[in-house]
Amino acid sequence: MQTEKLSRLIKEQARQRGFSLVGITAPDPPEHFGIFEGWLAQGRHGEMGYLETAPARLRRSDPRQILPECRSILVLGIRYPSPGAAQNVAPAQGRPVGKVASYAWNDDYHDVLPERLKAIVAFIEAQVGEPVPNRWYTDTGPILERDLAQRAGLGWIGKNTCLIQPEKGSYFLLAEILLGIDLEPDTPFQADRCGSCTRCLEACPTGCILPDRTLDARRCISYLTIELKGAIPAQLRPQMQDWVFGCDVCQQVCPWNLRFASPEGDAAFAPRREVPVPDLMRELPLSPQEFNRKFKGSPVKRAKRRGYLRNVAVALGNSGDARAVPALVQALEDVEPLVRGHAAWALGQIGGPVARKTLEQVYRSESDPDVLEEIQAALEALK
């Protein structure tokens, strides 16, 4: 089959599988690899040590280190809902609620997309009549996805570090299939359409977006609520606002999303009830069984119960709502020290006689040194 015809058929198949962004590029070393290496050297990846291992860095430097037979790369993007799609799933008004990044409102894309990628590979092999060397990823492998996407003509890397497609915005999940066959490459997307706009930099609550189109993960709310496994730095907690898993702020303010992106996404990512804007006072007492049941198949499970409830406690503290005090007092008895410590911080933010008295009592019975330090700091804040 002619390369041009095969490329067209593969793109049509990918669109039928729900991928609205489809492009092809050659397996050349990524243009932005030097930027990535500099980012690592500055420690801006935080505790994500898996990014800096020697094997991972070697593979990111050249796709052929992943698949030596690679001759083409199919790059794909699938739409997930923007925050506007959650307008009708808010809980009863009047109680403090949190926010979950919109890609995580339903099924985990790590579970959804592999079957679609496998189906595309099967289609390709049926077209060529023989097995094709391949390797596919969706945010799971040592590959610079946005670099490949820009080279495949899908969009440009914006100042907020997201891939932006000028007609559809940036609410996309990316995936790639490395293939041992020749396909017709697309023209790279050369234009930078961010212009002089700096809305994302100005809106970022923690100021983590840097002028060189990278970000300091150590300050990013998505990193703090998902990747960071220990205590959230106290100086960053107030800036996290009400986000309990991920963050959409830099996308919400982007003109390309405001003007062109529709709120709907693939049906697999349509919002589950009570996930996009959780009732924080109901979330904090979740038992391990309740947490697992509620977030079965959800990206939120990546934070694990202790990380998620840590985030919920911070959001409650930021709410300043005195009605949250009983739930936070109860959380001081949680089995996880991480939850107890952040609940103590939250009580210090809300204040009041009940918060103070409880913290004083718990300080005398708590044995974990980190939690004791959090209680002491909370009491100092209440003076």
- Structural domain boundaries of the chain? 1-278, 280-383
What residues are annotated to the active site? 139
Residue entry with tokens 């405001």: 258
Cα distance between residue 296 and residue 312, in whole Å: 18
Give alpha helix (H) positions in 129-175.
145-151
What is the predicted pLDDT for the residue at 91? Answer: 59
Cα distance between residue 46 and residue 50, in whole Å: 11
Which residues, in sequence order, are bridge partners of residue 77? 21, 174
Tell me which residue of 170, 238, 228, 231 sits closest to 207, measured CA to CA: 238
What is the predicted pLDDT for the residue at 260? Answer: 85
State which residues of the chain have pLDDT below 70. Answer: 86-93
CATH number of 280-383: 1.25.10.10
What is the predicted pLDDT for the residue at 165? Answer: 97
Chain length of the chain: 383
Q: Who contacts 108 (Cβ-Cβ below 8 Å, separation ≥6)? A: 297, 298, 299, 301
**pLDDT tens digits, residue range 7-64?**
999 999 999 999 999 999 999 999 999 999 999 999 999 999 999 999 999 999 999 9
Burial of residue 41 (CB within 10 Å: 0-12, 13-18, 19+) is exposed
Exposure class string for 362-372: b at 16+ Cβ within 10 A, else e:
beeebeeeebb
What is the predicted pLDDT for the residue at 170? Answer: 97
What is the predicted pLDDT for the residue at 273? Answer: 83
| DSSP label at residue 53 | -
Residue entry with tokens 């020749």: 182
Please report, as a single letter, which amino acid is at residue 8.
R
Give alpha helix (H) positions in 54-104.
54-61
